[in-house]
Amino acid sequence: MKKKRPSLKDIADALNISTTTVSFVLNGKGEEKKISKELIAKVEAHLKEINYKPNLVARSLRTGSTRVLVFMVEDISNSHFSKVGRIIEDISYKNDYRVLFCSTENDVKRTQDLIHLFHERQVDGFIIVPPPGIEKEISYLLENEVPVVLFDRKIPELEADYVIINNFEGAKQSTQHLIDSGYKNIAFITIDLDQIQMHDREAGYIAAIEEAGFSPNILKIPYDTSNIPSSREKIKKFIKESKDIDAIFFATNYLSQSGLKCIHQIDAKLINKLGIISFDDSNFFEMYSPTVSAFAQPVDEMANQLMKIMFNKLKNKEQAVSSKLVLEGTLVTRESSLKK
């Protein structure tokens, strides 16, 4: 026998008052609406007693707002993204928003599905790390005036707001740091993806290398989450075949982690001969032996700026204040990039 969930009306009937009154009390507008203290107390007691849970679907239909934001990143298990996610979640909770997380796996089809799914369910805003090829869906959201903030990378053709870092500068500084430590034959291992942040990192590496009068040495791995072992093989082959390399700059933190395993598997002592630096920091790098240097993104600042822009959009739907932010990261030097 099915117990129907109590509705506002059931409560109003039980208490012999109107739904309006119950609704006001429920939303903490009792005082404001000058409902008597006693009535408020009575209603609240009853709400608590029956453990009333409002139907948020109905509320959303009425108010047009779900108070839900989505945070779509490449891979939520990547510590860079999950750290930012965590801060975003905290800020949102404080402002009475919930956050749904999801991983796009950098796959357009999947991302499209996710965007439609959430848009149809009326989420209030999107924070997206856009995979290549997603321009159309993003413009669709923009046309429909759904708040969108891009993160980690921008889409140059699009009038969308974003918070990114200066990838070129970061990569250049990282490479320069290896050069300053005395390394002369610095390889760059990156992901073969046509995305602006990857191009910028590569360009930064090349700029530093050429300024120093060295020659670039680049390995590009296909982006393919399902095929980690084959990436490993490529990295191993590359390292084994280029015996003269004395340092490696990895373009992402997950590449660094794969790379470190490869280096270890080739020869347990090899890690002590190579200079290593990673773009993007990771908890793992502090625990590794040797500790691994990294170019760290300002996680806290990024999350805060992201939410500032998002809340601004949420509040002033009309007013299109364009916010395009390029932040600077910091070089975190640890043992792996000291001169060996």
Partner DNA sequence: GTGAAAGCGCTAACAC
Partner DNA sequence: GTGTTAGCGCTTTCAC
Residues 280 and 296 sit within 8 Å (Cβ to Cβ):
yes
Quick one: what does residue 119 bind among DNA, a copy of itself, none, with the CB cut-off 5 to 8 Å set by partner type? a copy of itself
Under the criterion CB under 8 A, does residue 184 sit at the interface with a copy of itself? Answer: no
The two structure tokens encoding residue 238: 């590359």
C-alpha distances in angstroms, 15 versus 4, 65, 201?
18, 29, 65
Could you tell me which stretch among 33-41, 114-122, 202-210, 328-336 binds a copy of itself (CB under 8 A)? Answer: 114-122
Residue 120 beta carbon to DNA: minimum distance, rounded to whole angstroms = 9
**Contacting range for a copy of itself; rule: CB under 8 A; set: 31-39, 120-128, 292-300, 321-329:** 120-128
Q: 313: which DSSP letter?
A: H
Q: Is residue 21 involved in binding DNA (CB under 7 A)?
A: yes
Residue with tokens 């509705």: 7
The answer to the question of residue 314 lying near DNA (CB under 7 A) is no
Q: Choose among DNA, a copy of itself, none what residue 156 binds, the Cβ cut-off being 5 to 8 Å by kind.
A: none
Q: Which residue has the tokens 């499209």?
A: 112
Cβ–Cβ under 8 Å, residues 215 and 209? yes
Write out the DSSP string of 313-336. Answer: HHH-SS-----EEEE--EEE--GG
Q: Does 59 bind DNA (CB under 7 A)?
A: yes
Measured in Å, how far apart are the chain's first and last C-alpha atoms? 75
Does 119 bind DNA (CB under 7 A)? Our answer is no
Which string of x and - marks every residue 272-301 that binds a copy of itself (by CB under 8 A)? -----------x---x-x------------
Interface stretch with a copy of itself, choices 139-147, 156-164, 169-177, 245-253 (CB under 8 A): 139-147
The span of 8-16, 115-123, 162-170, 299-307 binding a copy of itself (CB under 8 A) equals: 115-123
Q: How far is CA 243 from CA 150, 184, 234, 270, in A?
A: 41, 13, 15, 11
The amino acid at 336: S
CA 254, CA 104: separation in Å to the nearest integer? Answer: 16
Find residue 128's DSSP bridge partners.
Answer: 72, 150
- Closest by alpha carbon to 147, among 327, 324, 320, 301? 320
- Contact footprint for DNA (CB under 7 A): 4-5, 7-9, 16-21, 23-24, 26-27, 29, 33-36, 39, 54-55, 58-59, 61-64
- Contact footprint for a copy of itself (CB under 8 A): 2-3, 5, 51, 53-58, 60-61, 66, 76-77, 98, 100-102, 116-117, 119-122, 140, 143-145, 228-229, 232, 261, 265, 268, 283, 287, 289, 317-318
